Amino acid sequence: MHTDASNATLREVPVELIDRNPDNPRLFFRPQELETLQNSIADLGIQVPINVFRRQGRFILIDGERRWKCAVKLNLKTIPALVQDEPTRLTNVLLMFNIHALREQWDLLTIAVKLPEVLTLLEVELGHRPTEAEIVRKTGLNRSMIRRCKLLIELPTMYRELLLDELKKPRSQQKLTEDFFIEMEKALRTVERTMPKAIPDKNAARDVLIAKYRNEVIKDLLDLRYLPKIAKAEQVNFDTKAAAASLKRVFSMNAYSLEQAFEETVAAAYTEKDLYSRITQVITRLDDIEANELEQNVLTALKELRSRISQILREI
């Protein structure tokens, strides 16, 4: 990305001659954010100029859409602006990402929707499909964000539209979030990979999970993480047929929760696996310790552990 802001001039630009940047992927401005900024501007004026470029007698926003909206609302006639030369299309889009995505809390879908276009423009400029490292460097987004965006981009259109409709609602009325879809997609991918027969129809599975989340059968987003654990039953030596049957029940319209499915199937096996891992760690640590170096409280805990272990072993 190359921009030359050194030619920019500071001037008062008529508010009515300014248009929003069509490449700004931001879809929503939260009313509370605007209200707070508006009050500040009403009291103190606009302290930091906005950035615009000139096009056909009008000015296109690069940075400062919220300030501009507040200026319109407050009926200000002009607004201080740094006016610079029109950037190339790719530069304009990348400017939006670098200025906004890093500084403000954008909705992830906002970025996701715009990302394919950025990738296409980058491919033309670079002459090859951009690597993840190149995307990170050019857009200013981190790898985790890009991966999360990709999960949203790859959603079937109907689910992207569903999410978009949800994001249009006031925050208090939003139920389905980007995080829900990301967690759901991650979970379904693992299930699909490890136990493909459990999901004969992925969209049907999505519909069931969405309905269960809306109806609060799934109470917590993190409950979706039970799905991969059930699907990976084989790794904890649990009966895969029983796990598959449980998943089949999960992906049917009913009140069967993910937590219930987990508890009834692999929960005990995972607990045992966890216990085994901890015991192994303790044994490794004990190998490195001299008995006379131990503090009294550690010795007391060890004696308690020995007593419990003896009790368990006697019961076998």
Partner 1 sequence: MAGGYRVLSQPLWPTADAVQQFLKKNHGITSIKVEEEIHKDVPRPTLQGRATDNTIICVDVHEDACYTPSTELFIAKCKSIQLPVRLYTAHVQGAESPDFPRQLRQARLNCVGVLSVNTDGITTILSETLPQTLADVRRLDLSRFPSKYRDRLSIAQQTYLQGDPVKGCAGIHEVMEDITREVARKLYKKGRIAAWTTNPPNLDKDPWYNIAKAIYNEPTFQQFFPNTQPAIWAELIAQTKPRNEASHPPPTPAKRAERDKKLRTRFEQAGDTLAEVVEVIKNAKI
- Using rule CB under 8 A, residue 42 touches partner 1: yes
Minimum CB–partner distance for residue 153 and partner 1 (Å): 21
Q: How far is Cα 222 from Cα 102, in angstroms, rounded to an integer?
A: 26
Binding segment (CB under 8 A) for partner 1, from list 38-46, 220-228, 234-242, 257-265: 38-46
Q: Quick check: 256 binds partner 1 (CB under 8 A)?
A: no
**Which residues neighbour 73 within 8 Å (Cβ) at sequence distance 6 or greater?**
34, 38
Site for partner 1 in 117-176 (CB under 8 A): 167-173
> Nearest-5° angle of CA 273, CA 277, CA 281?
170
Considering the complex, state which of residue 43 and residue 287 has its C-beta at the smaller distance from partner 1: 43
Please report whether residue 311 would count as binding partner 1 according to CB under 8 A. no
Q: Which is nearer to partner 1, 168 or 193 (CB)?
A: 168
Question: Three-state SS for 12?
Answer: strand
21: exposed, middle or buried (Cβ count in 10 Å: 0-12, 13-18, 19+): buried
Under the binding rule (CB under 8 A), the answer on residue 29 touching partner 1 is yes
Q: Which is nearer to partner 1, 47 or 75 (CB)?
A: 75
# residues contacting partner 1 (CB under 8 A): 25
Instruction: Using DSSP, state whether 104 is helix, strand or coil.
Output: coil
CA distances from 270 to 198, 247, 258, 263 (A): 20, 17, 15, 10
Evaluate whether 165 touches 135 at the Cβ level (below 8 Å): no
> One symbol per residue from 43 to 82: x for binding partner 1 (CB under 8 A), - otherwise; what is it?
--------------------------xx-xxxx-------
Q: Which is nearer to partner 1, 31 or 45 (CB)?
A: 31
Label the pairing between strands 9-14 and 58-63: unpaired
Shortest distance (Å) from residue 33 CB to partner 1: 9
Considering beta carbons, is residue 110 or 139 the nearer one to partner 1? 110
H/E element, 287: helix 267-287
Q: Which residues bind partner 1 (CB under 8 A)?
A: 20, 27-32, 34-35, 38-39, 42, 69-70, 72-75, 167-173
